[in-house]
Structure 1
Amino acid sequence: MMHLLIGAEQKKTIIVTNEQTDEAWGGSFHVLSSPALIGSVEMLCAELICDQLEAKETTVGVKFDFLHLAPTPTGRAIEIIVKLVEADEKMLTFSAEVKDTKNNTVVFKGFHKRAVVQRELFIQKILNT
């Protein structure tokens, strides 16, 4: 693994779509769902460090510790901010915060851990499962 920059940060703004709502996940409300938020945070964390890994490496999500604090309606913009806060040879820890851009309210926050794995070994593990 190359040297990772602790404190590296990435931001992304997205508009809440119908596919990301609680209703789309089997619930009753037209608001941003926790599973959609977790997926968006996970993808942004992976994007943040992908260029810092060696070609034979990748990362996989292993732990999610988040609080979903407020609803965000369909059509509203949110800003996702992730930051690499800790790294060693095998584990990366990110902080995450999501804000509703209309009122700057924090709607989601917490931590995400990703394991650094050897791509080919992981593929073999999948095939042998």
Structure 2
Amino acid sequence: MENVKVGLKAKIETVAEPKDSAVNYGSGGVDVYSTPAMVGLMESAAKKAVDTFLPDGYTTVGIKLDIKHLAATPIGMKVKAEAELIEVDGRKLTFKVEAYDEAEKIGEGLHERFVIDSEKFLSKLNNKTIK
């Protein structure tokens, strides 16, 4: 974990596809790039920013989002998300995230992720039972 430091950054770019629409997600009634798709792209950028700096067998999981969706994006337009690690508190990582389409900033906010040992996490999950 000593390589995970404030300032790590990553960007991810994609094209808004019909599967990403608010109508498809059920999160809205207009065929535009959805908030859930934007949030997923932001999370992916945050994960990418630290993945290569984690020990083998470790990854991160999202634990908190505080996101604003600022502007609509038509299906077919390029979108990108940027993430910057701004705080490390033990295994809790806080990222500043932003999203843009080809015309403007479409989203911004903070995202927290937690560093986990994948094997231990999955073992605990597999032992989870219905009460």
Q: What's the TM-score, normalizing by structure 2?
A: 0.90
Aligned to 2:126: 127
Root-mean-square deviation (CA, aligned residues, Å) is: 1.2
Amino acid at match of 1:34: T
Q: Is the 8 A contact 1:64 1:111 kept in 2?
A: yes
Aligned to 2:80: 79
**How far off its partner does 1:87 sit?**
1.0
Mapped to 2, the partners of 1:56 and 1:14 lie a distance apart of 28
Mapped to 1, the partners of 2:47 and 2:100 lie a distance apart of 20
Q: Is the 8 A contact 2:12 2:41 kept in 1?
A: no
Mapped to 2, the partners of 1:25 and 1:16 lie a distance apart of 13
Mapped to 2, the partners of 1:72 and 1:40 lie a distance apart of 14
Mapped to 2, the partners of 1:54 and 1:12 lie a distance apart of 22
Q: Which runs of 5+ in 1 are unaligned?
A: none
Counterpart secondary structure, 2:44: helix
Range moving further from structure 2, 86-95 or 60-69 = 86-95
1:99 and 2:88 correspond: no
Report runs of 4+ in structure 1 exceeding 3 Å deviation.
none
Aligned to 2:51: 50
**How far off its partner does 1:37 sit?**
0.9
Write the deviation string for residues 86-107 of structure 1: whole angstroms up to 9, x where unpaired.
Answer: 1132101111111121x2x211
- 1:29-44 to 2 correspondence within 5 Å? 29-44=30-45
**How far off its partner does 1:2 sit?**
3.2
Mapped to 2, the partners of 1:65 and 1:49 lie a distance apart of 20
Amino acid at match of 1:77: K
Q: Number of aligned pairs?
A: 127
Amino acid at match of 2:110: F
